[in-house]
Structure formats: C-alpha cells, structure tokens
Amino acid sequence: MGVLSMSVRILTVNAGDDLLRDIPKRAAHQDLTVEHVPAELAAQAAESEYPLILADLHQPELCDADLIRELRHSRPHQKVLAVCSRGDADAIAAMLRQHAFGLLIRPLTPQRVREAIELALVARDWEDDIELISGSSQWLQLRLRCKMEAAERAVQMFRELQGDLPEDEHEELTTAFRELLMNGIEHGGGGDPRKSLWVNYVVTKGALVFYIRDPGPGFSMTGLKHAAISNPQGSLEHTNVREEKGIRPGGFGILLAKNMADELIYSERGNEVILIKHRRSRHAASENAESGNVAP
C-alpha cells in the first residue's frame, strides 16, 4: 500500500487514545491534519467535509451504532473508521450494519492505524463493495464485489479480529485468507465488480474456518501449471508459464495458503475453498501443562 503524498484533513471524534490524538506523529503521517472534537460536537463537526472520520466508541462491547449513524446523517457517504475494544465477528457485523468503512480494535499500533487510514483514504465507490448477509459471534457471512479494494478492506477487518491464536499464527491465517480471496477475485471473478463472491467466517471450539465461493467456473489442480503448487520441490517453472500466458508475476497464493493453514479443502469444481486453522491441539496442550501432564 502506497504512502499518502498529498495533504489531507481528517477528523477524530471522542479520541481516547494517545495514538489517535497524535496521528501525524505516532502513525508517521506528516501529511495529515487532524482535528479533534468530543462526542457531543460530533454531529455539528461532521457537517463539514472530511475524507475520513475516526470515531472512538469507548465501548467494551459492541460498536456504538448511534454515534456512527449520527456521523453519517448529514453526509450519507461519509467514511467512518470505528475504534472499539471488542475484537470479534460481532464487532464487524455491528460496524457493517451501520455502513462504517472499517474498524480498529484496541490495543492500537501505529502500523495498523496507518494502514487503515491509507486504505480508507484511497477507496472509491466503496459503499456497496461489502454486504453483510448474516452476522453473529460465531458465524459471519459477507458478499464482496470482485474488486481488489474490497478484498483489502475485508482483510483489514479480519486482521483486527482478536481470537486466541498467537500473533504469528493469526497473521499467517490472515495472509492465507487474503491469498485465497485475491485468487477468487482475480481468477474466479475476473476482477469484474459486477460479480460477487461469498465469504463465511465460522468460529468453533476446535477451529477457525473461512469458506470462500467465487463466481467462476472453477479449476482443476492438475491444470494449474502457472501456479507454484503444481511445481514440485520449489521449482519456479510456473513463472515461465505465467510469462508465456501474459499473467502477472505471482502464482504462490495457493501454496502459501496451504503452508499457513492446517487444512485447505477445495470443492470438486474448484470455485469453493475451505481454510481451517485448528485450535484444539493448543487448548489440549494448555490443559496438559496446567495438569502437569506432558503431551506425547
């Protein structure tokens, strides 16, 4: 993602975090002018034109729907990034129901704030890119337009989820999800924003599961000569195939996802994929450690 090169003015509402109060310095954005208002002045301030508003909701539970609705009342197309404390699928669902652009979950870091701001500022025609079909703490279903911008926005949301995975495993899972999402948009949907793909995120006691269905005709693993997964032992033969076919450099998506997930399962047609990250073994190990047992 590129660095912003032009001066822009954004608004923070109810900023209760030092990082939000000093975004240009702490988030390495010297080109941002940040104005701050308390929640009681939010509606009045939002009447002015801002390319982005960060709303600090200060809610330990769900996103504050009233504040987001209030910020978008005068300007229905206003981009709002919600900042809250609850990092689960319910928070994403609540944010999407109020048509916020995205969310940030505490504790914040300069990098995550910077990336979320950049993503929001460059987005165009974004309001129909992601549709909430169903949302609960255990099952989230979304429809995405086949646009790279929609994929990046969905990835940013899921990266904010606070499960019980270690940080490195959480990042690997998010990266694997991104690769599969990009493949579905590029190869299944042809990058055509008139087409859509479906994303389901399911949380069980034993696993975190992504299910993605793209609108394409599917594929066969044996026909993926342009992909790294079809070339054994680290061969880069697929790069020559991609060059011959005029396909952009890459081809590592499925291989990356397979290496980063515990299970990767494709449907017979190949336009549906399930990505699974197990939690059971980690819980069992924790219980063994607490009881003094040593896992074999």
pLDDT in tens, 101-116: 999 998 888 889 989 9
Between CA 52 and CA 113 the distance in angstroms is 13
Where is pLDDT greater, at 54 or 26?
Answer: 54
Between CA 17 and CA 136 the distance in angstroms is 28
Whether the per-residue pLDDT at 285 is higher than 60: the answer is: no
Whether the per-residue pLDDT at 68 is higher than 80: the answer is: yes
Lowest mean pLDDT among 126-130, 164-168, 286-290: 286-290
Q: What is the pLDDT of residue 255?
A: 82
Q: What is the pLDDT of residue 228?
A: 44
Where is pLDDT greater, at 233 or 81?
Answer: 81
Query: In CATH, what number does 1-126 get?
Result: 3.40.50.2300
User: How much of the chain, in percent, has pLDDT values that exceed 90?
Assistant: 48
Which range has highest mean pLDDT (50-59, 244-253, 258-267)?
A: 258-267
Whether the per-residue pLDDT at 232 is higher than 70: the answer is: no
List the chain domain ranges: 1-126, 128-296
Domain 128-296, CATH class in plain words: alpha beta
Whether the per-residue pLDDT at 289 is higher than 60: the answer is: no
**Mean pLDDT, rounded, for 6-27:** 78
Integer angstrom CA distances of residue 178 from 9, 24, 55, 152, 257: 30, 28, 26, 8, 9
Lowest mean pLDDT among 58-72, 131-145, 165-179: 58-72
